[in-house]
Amino acid sequence: MKRLSTRALLTRYREGERLAMVTCYDATFARLVDAAELDMILVGDSLGMVVQGHEHTIPVTLEDMIYHARAVVRGSARAHVVGDLPFGSYQASAEDALRSGMRLMKEGGVQSVKLEGGGRVVESVARLTEAGVPVVGHLGLTPQAVHQLGGYGLQARTEREASRLLDDARSLQEAGAFALVLEGIPAPLAREVTASLSIPTIGIGAGVECSGQVLVLYDLLGLDERFKPRFVKRYAQLSELVTSALGDYAHEVREGRFPGPEHSRER
Q: Tens of pLDDT along 244-266?
A: 999 999 999 999 999 988 898 88
Average pLDDT over residues 137-164: 91
pLDDT at res. 133: 98
Average pLDDT over residues 187-216: 98
Q: How far apart are CA 151 and CA 195, in angstroms?
A: 28
Percent of the chain predicted with pLDDT > 90 = 90
Q: Does pLDDT of 54 surpass 90?
A: yes
| Residue 209 a catalytic site member | no
Q: How far apart are CA 135 and CA 137, in angstroms?
A: 6
Q: What is the domain partition of the chain in residue ranges?
A: 6-236, 238-267
Q: How far apart are CA 115 and CA 97, in angstroms?
A: 9
Of 123, 161, 174, 183, which is the active-site residue?
Answer: 183
**To which CATH superfamily is domain 6-236 assigned?**
Phosphoenolpyruvate-binding domains (3.20.20.60)
Residue 233 is given by DSSP the state: -
pLDDT at res. 265: 87
Q: Does pLDDT of 226 surpass 90?
A: no
Confidence of residue 153 (pLDDT cuts 50, 70, 90): confident
Q: How far apart are CA 115 and CA 125, in angstroms?
A: 8
Average pLDDT over residues 191-213: 98
pLDDT at res. 234: 93
Average pLDDT over residues 14-27: 98
pLDDT at res. 236: 95
How much is the mean pLDDT over the chain?
A: 96
Residues 184/174, Cβ–Cβ less than 8 Å? no
